[in-house]
């Protein structure tokens, strides 16, 4: 019998979960000092689902000042002290300890106008978003489950605590949190909660783009991204209106089975679960709606969509507050997603974007292919050969960068080159190694450098005077 079945069968039995020592210690320190203290929210949910919480939240009736008296001021730092939250770090384990609280009216569909500390755990649980996030427990006690969270965990359901419409009106972030938990946990959204999500979606526009970015990244990383993206596209478009033209944008041709939106969701879902690649998967065809033409046979074409898409994706990434490194990478991935590669191209690709980005681009290719019509999708595995070639080039000491070349600037000076000729010749040699498979051998490259230098000088001397920049002596001079 699973922990969950056991708890549902006998809810009053004390439960037991393995806890890291610092968490156990923090709970007992508060309890020994006479306070109530329990684990609450996501960590209980995750302990029951897979035993691996991402973070530890402790709820207590101690106020921040009382927490300082228990743990010592220097071991706590405020996360939102006025809201009752302090962070305690011990041996690599970080815990957020929050005073039980009641929230006042919500001023701006995001923040309560005020919070009141309370001694009552039940009141604290009532303010929490979803039933599966409103479970509390401390060692030796039964799980506190006031809203049927254990049953919803068992059934795989996201359901709000209380009236969903009211809860989403209070705090619009909960709209995207619902989608994030559904995607991550693979849970369905209970009918009344789902109806309220659609009805109250306008609140999403009130969220900051950075906040939306964080939540949508979580949705993209989840296992049910495709289902959530199809069922709740309208909510995602509230957050990212730039994506809306993708929905319903047809791809009438033998290569595709879905519209641009579903194809993009499927591509993102087939990318490895890394935030940057999932975003690139979602955005890779964002340029298609603007580039679509239909020919006389009824076939759709999207000429120029990678260039258009790279510009649109970059604008979107900028507005989401992504850092410059991510923006550059996503721009490159969208721009190059439609190129075709063979193993022979991998060295040139490495010289252009380096191994990590090259792997990302090939992974995106594979995901994109996998999201095409079945006869293309079956070929997606061919990308493994390209990834294998990148591994082989890396481990065999292949050369694709100047610092890997068997000659350097000092070698060039030793054969009489100076100034810009040094860099120009080294680059010439590098291209010879990458593109023409000249062996990366010191003596051979030195010979090639001399030959290149001599031919450059000869070409310079034998060029017509006008081209070389030498002045023709005029009869009038």
Q: Which is nearer to ligand ATP, 147 or 302 (CB)?
A: 147
Give the residues across from 85 on adjacent strands.
80, 98
Q: Taking CB under 6 A as the criterion, which residues in 163-182 touch ligand ATP?
A: 171, 173-174
Burial 132-169 (b: 16+ CB within 10 A, else e): bbbbbbbbeeebbbebbbbebbbeebbbbbbebbebbb
Q: What binding mask, one character per residue, do residues 57-96 give for ligand ATP by CB under 6 A, x or -?
A: x---------------------------------------
Minimum Å gap between C-beta 97 and Mg ion is: 13
Residue 55 as a binder of ligand ATP (CB under 6 A): the answer is yes
* Residue 171 interacting partner from ligand ATP, Mg ion, none (CB closer than 5 to 8 Å by kind): ligand ATP
Q: What binding mask, one character per residue, do residues 179-208 give for ligand ATP by CB under 6 A, x or -?
A: ------------------------------
Minimum Å gap between C-beta 137 and ligand ATP is: 13
Minimum Å gap between C-beta 201 and ligand ATP is: 16
- Angle at Cα 123 formed by Cα 235 and Cα 31, nearest 5°? 120
CA-based radius of gyration for the chain: 30
- Residues 30, 66: Cα–Cα separation, whole Å: 9
User: Which residue, 197, 305, 199, is CA-closest to 251?
Assistant: 305
* Residue 133 interacting partner from Mg ion, ligand ATP, none (CB closer than 5 to 8 Å by kind): ligand ATP
Q: Which position among 1, 18, 50, 54 is part of the footprint of ligand ATP (CB under 6 A)?
A: 54
Residue 108 as a binder of ligand ATP (CB under 6 A): the answer is no
Scan for tokens 């039995």, then name that residue: 13
Residue 215 as a binder of ligand ATP (CB under 6 A): the answer is no
* Residue 149 interacting partner from Mg ion, ligand ATP, none (CB closer than 5 to 8 Å by kind): none
Residues that bind Mg ion (CB under 5 A): 42, 55
Show Cβ contacts of residue 211 under 8 Å, excluding neighbours closer than 6 positions.
173
Scan for tokens 């059934």, then name that residue: 155
Q: Which is nearer to Mg ion, 40 or 393 (CB)?
A: 40
Q: What binding mask, one character per residue, do residues 126-145 give for ligand ATP by CB under 6 A, x or -?
A: --xx---xx-----------
Tokens of 239: 């957050």
Q: Which stretch binds ligand ATP (CB under 6 A): 52-60, 143-151, 342-350, 377-385?
A: 52-60
* Residue 128 interacting partner from Mg ion, ligand ATP, none (CB closer than 5 to 8 Å by kind): ligand ATP
Residues in contact with ligand ATP by CB under 6 A are 41-42, 54-55, 57, 128-129, 133-134, 171, 173-174
């Amino acid at each position: 019998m699973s922990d969950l079945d056991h708890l549902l069968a006998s809810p009053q039995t004390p439960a037991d979960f393995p806890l890291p020592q610092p968490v156990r210690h923090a709970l007992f320190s508060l309890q020994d000092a006479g306070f109530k203290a329990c684990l609450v929210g996501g960590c209980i949910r995750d302990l029951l689902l897979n035993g691996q919480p991402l973070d530890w939240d402790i709820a207590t009736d101690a106020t921040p000042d009382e927490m300082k008296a228990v743990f010592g001021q220097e071991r706590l730092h405020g996360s939102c002290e006025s809201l009752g939250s302090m962070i305690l770090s011990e041996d690599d384990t970080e815990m957020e300890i929050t005073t039980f609280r009641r929230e006042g009216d919500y001023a701006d569909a995001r923040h309560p106008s005020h919070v009141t500390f309370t001694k009552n755990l039940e009141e604290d649980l009532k303010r929490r978003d979803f039933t599966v996030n409103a479970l509390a427990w401390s060692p030796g006690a039964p799980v506190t489950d006031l809203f049927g969270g254990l049953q919803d965990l068992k059934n795989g359901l996201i359901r709000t605590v209380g009236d969903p419409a009211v809860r989403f009106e209070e705090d619009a972030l909960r709209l995207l949190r619902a989608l994030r938990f559904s995607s991550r946990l693979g849970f369905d959204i209970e009918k009344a909660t789902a109806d309220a999500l659609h009805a109250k979606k306008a609140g999403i526009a009130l969220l900051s783009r950075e906040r939306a970015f964080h939540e949508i990244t979580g949705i993209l990383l989840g296992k049910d991204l495709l289902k959530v993206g199809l069922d709740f596209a309208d909510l995602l478009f509230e957050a990212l209106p730039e994506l809306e033209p993708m929905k319903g944008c047809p791809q009438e041709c033998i290569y595709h089975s879905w519209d641009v939106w579903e194809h993009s969701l499927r591509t993102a879902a087939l990318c490895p679960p890394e935030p940057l690649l999932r975003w690139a998967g979602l955005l890779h065809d964002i340029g298609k709606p603007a580039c679509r033409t239909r020919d006389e046979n009824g076939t759709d074409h999207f000429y120029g969509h990678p260039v258009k898409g790279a510009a649109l994706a970059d604008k979107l990434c900028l507005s989401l507050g992504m850092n410059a490194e991510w923006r550059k990478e996503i721009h490159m991935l969208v721009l190059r997603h439609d190129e075709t590669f063979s193993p022979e191209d991998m060295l040139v690709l490495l010289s252009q974007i380096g191994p990590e980005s090259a792997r990302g681009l090939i992974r995106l290719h594979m995901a994109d292919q996998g999201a095409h019509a079945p006869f293309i999708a079956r070929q997606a595995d061919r990308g493994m050969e390209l990834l294998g070639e990148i591994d082989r080039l890396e481990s065999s000491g292949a050369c694709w960068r100047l610092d890997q070349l068997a000659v350097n600037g000092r070698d060039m000076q030793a054969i009489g080159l100076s100034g810009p000729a040094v860099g120009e010749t080294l680059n010439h040699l590098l291209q010879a190694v990458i593109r023409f498979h000249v062996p990366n051998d010191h003596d051979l490259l030195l010979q090639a450098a001399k030959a290149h230098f001599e031919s450059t000088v000869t070409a310079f001397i034998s060029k017509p005077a006008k081209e070389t920049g030498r002045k023709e002596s005029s009869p009038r001079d």
